[in-house]
Amino acid sequence: MPAYYLEIAVVVLGLVLLLVEAFTPPQHKRRIGWAALAGIAATFLLLLTVKSHCGCDSPMWQFYDDSSLSLFFKGLALLCTAFVLMLGLEYLPVLEKYSARAGGGPATGEFFALPVLICAGLMWMASAIDITTIFLSLELTTIGFYIMVAYMRRNVGSLEAGVKYLILGALSTGILVYGLSWLFGATGQTGLDAIRTALPSAARGPALFAFALILIALCFKIAAVPFHFWVPDVYQGAPTPVTAFLSVGSKAAGFLVAIRLMEPFLAVESLRTTCIAILVAVACATLILGNLAAIPQGNFKRLLAYSSISHAGFLLLALASDRHTGELTSTRIIAFYLSAYLCMTLLAFAVLIIINKSTGSDELKAFDGLHRRNPFLGFATLIAAASLAGVPLTAGFLGKFFVFIAAAGAQQWLAIGIAVAGAAAGFYYYFKVIRHVYWNTAPEGAAAIPVSPVAKSLLIILIAATLVLGVYPQLILGLL
Amino acid sequence: MTTLNDYLIASGLLFSIGLFGVMFRRNIIVIFMCLEMMLNAANLSLVAFSRFNTSAGLPDYNGQMLVFFIITVAAAEVAVGLAIIIAMFRSRRTVDVDEISSMKG
């Protein structure tokens, strides 16, 4: 089966869900979520049967790539969407409160159809190798996210986050398109393969101008420094499942697009040094800002936002190391780091949603004495925080370790120094969370926090994945 | 005769006006118009690049195809964007970005 059937299947699933949703009575909207989950799971099974290029000769392959790397990122997008749908089912009571229609009754059906359409965009992003498809798939996800972020329209925070995301997202689109037009002007090509062959003979000025504009615009997608200022506000205001989707799905697909678009520039001898210097500078600034700003945070969602920025710094450092030989190439390191990041970040957001549902708060104070109120949730928080900080035997540690190996190979000593300092600062603010869970005592009269069976199975899967990837990284590296 | 440089200067000007408008204007609707101007600056330079990059006397149509996609996407973006701005206006009675800042830190 050719790989592009997968996106078609996902789009059809999304449209059918939208149609069915219109005829579903309000009390049964939960079923839309389950149907979406089942459809995404079925597509994931189909993904396992896909073979590269399937022997068919088609003009499609000029702008659509189905290498094992693309298939891997399609898998990440599907898994992430499935987890987000489960988180959405868990989050439904909060959502119903803030999305009421004017005439009464909740409007929550689209909340499960839109992630499916965004997932199709993420999957196209994983396969896009032409600037036209890159632009279109990026916009499909971004416009979907505009709606998702502002979904709770009776909640001022969500609307405010939606407006901020809209303005900055549209700004990054404008910059990206302008950069792409200069890339097209400098090389006369739209396909990335053709751009790679045409770029060495292109004029240096326009090429570097295009590189800078494209990098700035992609920094919006991956939450890195010149375009990071939307992250904390949007993460805090958006519905929590959407925040999780933004921080994992959007970042993963954005990084693959960044790898693809940066690669032709890094391959040209005369541009290489300048481009790597710019990438390293962006990575260092991201690491410093993300980690320093995270230290004083008292809101768990904002803490995760700054943590997302600092992880983007590590990933950019791996990209800037530009390593193509041996077992650990830059691309493989980024793929592994993103898989680890998916497990631990979704774990943290799952805990947050469960706690928010029973306490109504996102603050770190709501975690006080969690290990007495629900020992299992306390343990899940411990694993998530330890892995995000990079404690050995967790997936987060190996991700950071691989980045350091690559950066040392590229002799980026200054950047390594900053990254080590950033990781050390990370230990401080992630362990603050653990302190709240295990050392602080719960407030008087705090009730035990219930965990539904769905949420419990989700937490068990994510904890297991975080620990297994921490001792057996070949599981991911072997796929590429 | 008009050269490629003239078109690029015009598109650069449009892009700069748009960028400065986004940074310094406070009305969301005006900011949104400036964003559209940035997209059109890119469209202008794409068409100019494709028109001046001829092969066998014909322009390079790949660039112009991208322009059509950009126009379509911009329309979709405006539809969603204005809906969000209207929802915002209904709950806050303002379109001033300075007043939309309840979250800090």
In a domain, A356, yes or no: yes
Q: What is the DSSP code (8-state) at residue A230?
A: T
B79-99 pLDDT, tens per residue?
Answer: 999 999 999 998 888 888 888
Put simply, the answer to whether B63 touches A184 (Cβ < 8 Å) is: yes
Instruction: Establish if B77 touches chain A: CB-CB under 8 angstroms.
Output: yes
Of all residues in chain B, the one with the smallest CA distance to A142 is: B77
Residue environment code for A152-183, b if the CB has 16+ CB neighbours within 10 A, otherwise e: bbebbbbbbbbbbbbbbbbbbbbbbbbbbbbb
Looking at residues B18-24, what average pLDDT do you find? 94
Cα gap B40→A178, rounded to integer Å: 9
Q: Which residues lie across from A363 on neighbouring strands?
A: A299
- How many angstroms away from the CA of A65 is the closest CA of chain B? 19
Q: A333: pLDDT confidence band, cut at 50, 70 and 90?
A: very high
DSSP per residue, A34-83: HHHHHHHHHHHHHHHT--SSTT---GGGGTB--SHHHHHHHHHHHHHHHH
Give the pLDDT confidence score for residue A248 in this predicted structure. 94
Question: In CATH, which of 1.10.10.10, 3.30.1330.50, 3.40.50.2300, 1.10.287.3510 is domain B4-92?
Answer: 1.10.287.3510
Whether residue A100 has pLDDT greater than 80:
no
Q: What percent of chain B has pLDDT over 70?
A: 97
Whether residue A54 has pLDDT greater than 80:
no
Give the pLDDT confidence score for residue B92 in this predicted structure. 85
Cα gap A107→A147, rounded to integer Å: 13
In a domain, A407, yes or no: yes
Q: A155: pLDDT confidence band, cut at 50, 70 and 90?
A: confident
Alpha-carbon distances of B17 from A168, A439, B12, B34, rounded to whole Å? 16, 55, 9, 7
- Contact predicate A121/A140, CB 8 Å: yes
Give the pLDDT confidence score for residue A143 in this predicted structure. 95
Look at A102-106, A177-181, A364-368, B44-48 and tell me which has the smallest mean pLDDT: A102-106
Whether residue A33 has pLDDT greater than 70:
yes
Asked whether the CA dihedral A383, A386, A389, A393 is positive or negative, the reply is: negative
Whether residue B105 has pLDDT greater than 60:
no
A375-420 pLDDT, tens per residue?
Answer: 999 999 999 999 999 999 999 999 999 999 999 999 999 999 999 9
Q: What percent of chain A has pLDDT over 70?
A: 98
Whether residue B58 has pLDDT greater than 90:
no
Asked whether the CA dihedral A335, A339, A345, A349 is positive or negative, the reply is: positive
Q: How many domains does chain A have?
A: 1
Distance of CA A190 to the CA centre of its chain: 26
In a domain, A460, yes or no: yes
Q: Which residues contact A151 (CB under 8 A, 6 or more apart)?
A: A95, A99, A110, A111, A158, A162, A238, A239, A242
Residue A289's SS3 state is helix
From chain A, pick out residues whose CB is under 8 angstroms from the CB of B91.
153-154, 156, 159
This prediction has a pTM of 0.95
Distance of CA A64 to the CA centre of its chain: 22
From chain B, pick out residues whose CB is under 8 angstroms from the CB of A180.
42, 66
Domain limits, chain B: 4-92
Whether residue A97 has pLDDT greater than 90:
no
- How many angstroms away from the CA of A256 is the closest CA of chain B? 21
Give the pLDDT confidence score for residue A427 in this predicted structure. 94
Instruction: Establish if A290 touches chain B: CB-CB under 8 angstroms.
Output: no
Instruction: Establish if B7 touches chain A: CB-CB under 8 angstroms.
Output: no
**Nearest partner of A37 among A13, A72, A11, judged by Cα:** A13
Residue A319's SS3 state is helix
**Nearest partner of A168 among A109, A55, A246, A92, judged by Cα:** A246
Beta strands in A92-190 (DSSP E): none
- Contact predicate A446/A373, CB 8 Å: yes
Give the pLDDT confidence score for residue B73 in this predicted structure. 95
Give the pLDDT confidence score for residue A169 in this predicted structure. 94
Looking at residues B22-32, what average pLDDT do you find? 93
Put simply, the answer to whether A135 touches B84 (Cβ < 8 Å) is: no
- Contact predicate A363/A298, CB 8 Å: yes
Instruction: Establish if A171 touches chain B: CB-CB under 8 angstroms.
Output: yes
**Nearest partner of A274 among A205, A185, A189, judged by Cα:** A205
Q: Please give the residue range of the domain that contains residue A330.
A: 302-480
- Phi first, then psi, for residue A128 (nearest 5°) are -75, 120
Whether residue A247 has pLDDT greater than 80:
yes
Give the pLDDT confidence score for residue A104 in this predicted structure. 65
